[in-house]
Structure 1
Amino acid sequence: MQWLSVADFLNMGGYAFYVWGSFGITAAVVVIEILQVRAQRREILRNLFSQSESEDDLHQKPL
């Protein structure tokens, strides 16, 4: 496809709503996925750290 101007490019041959909407939704889903993975990683690391601390406490206390 050949565009003669920026307006033609942005219009996408009459399919601008579908094309740009698809790009927007895809970008939003990718950002949400990244944020969820980061939050999940933080939670897992927090759990592992607290689990490690409680195991260290058990090993350091005399029986």
Structure 2
Amino acid sequence: MNLSEFFHMGGYAAYVWSSYALAAVVLGLNLWLPARRLQQLKKTLRRRAQLAERRA
């Protein structure tokens, strides 16, 4: 088996590689979205702490 045959996947390359691509996108989103949400929460908490300090 040569490299070209491997990437062709016996005629199923479109299905196999699109599945890998979709899995990579989902895994990327599973890393990126929670990190973004954490940054938003930290920003909100900092803002609330500053408001509480001004009121005190």
Normalising by structure 1, we get a TM-score of: 0.74
Mapped to 2, the partners of 1:34 and 1:51 lie a distance apart of: 26
Mapped to 1, the partners of 2:51 and 2:29 lie a distance apart of: 33
Which contiguous aligned blocks of 4+ residues in structure 1 show a shift greater than 3 angstroms? none
Equivalent residue number for residue 44 of structure 1: 41
Q: Give 1:46's aligned amino acid.
A: K
Mapped to 2, the partners of 1:18 and 1:32 lie a distance apart of: 21
Mapped to 2, the partners of 1:50 and 1:33 lie a distance apart of: 27
Mapped to 2, the partners of 1:49 and 1:41 lie a distance apart of: 12
Mapped to 2, the partners of 1:44 and 1:30 lie a distance apart of: 22
Equivalent residue number for residue 5 of structure 2: 8
> Which is greater in Rg?
1
Higher helix share: 2
Identify which of structures 1 and 2 has the higher relative contact order when contacts are C-alpha pairs closer than 8 Å and 6+ apart.
2
Structure 1 residues without counterparts, runs of 5 or longer: none
Equivalent residue number for residue 25 of structure 1: 22
